[in-house]
Amino acid sequence: MSKLWPVLVMIGIIVANLPAMMEQWRTDRAGFIKTVELFLVYLVYCLIGGGLIIWLASRAHENHAGAWTIVALTAGIVGWIFYGALTLARAVPRYRELPNWAARFGLADIALLAMTFACLAAAAWA
């Protein structure tokens, strides 16, 4: 039963967003289609990152790397996903403006990229 909770949460999120999605479909069909296309690109981006992390984790397991390598890889994938989400937020059609720190390339981008590459380098070093 405990493995069913993530699936139920995802279904709940989708159901909760259905009214807003249907409203956007009726009022801004082109924006809805662009949003879905960009989300699919983001999904592929996350799958590429996940595949890379799984590959690196399997190499670390073969080399008998410690737990810190897995922690570094986990932090690296979190940075990868958050950077993709930040980029996605800039690209999708929106009805409210983003905060200035998120709307332009700046400190958030640098911090996420630095975290991602530093964690990947730490995992490769170990």
pLDDT in tens, 64-88: 777 888 889 999 999 999 999 999 9
**How far, in Å, CA of 48 to CA of 52, rounded?**
6
- The whole-chain average pLDDT of the chain stands at 90
pLDDT higher at 1 or 48: 48
Six-digit token string for 19:
């009214």
Report, as an integer, the average pLDDT of 89-108.
90
d(CA 96, CA 104): 15
Q: Indicate if the pLDDT at residue 30 is higher than 90.
A: yes
Give residue 123's pLDDT.
85
Q: How far apart are the first and last CA of the chain?
A: 37
Q: Which of the residue ranges 50-59, 63-72, 105-114 would you say has the lowest mean pLDDT?
A: 63-72
What's the whole-model pTM score? Answer: 0.80
User: According to the model, what pLDDT value does residue 1 have?
Assistant: 64
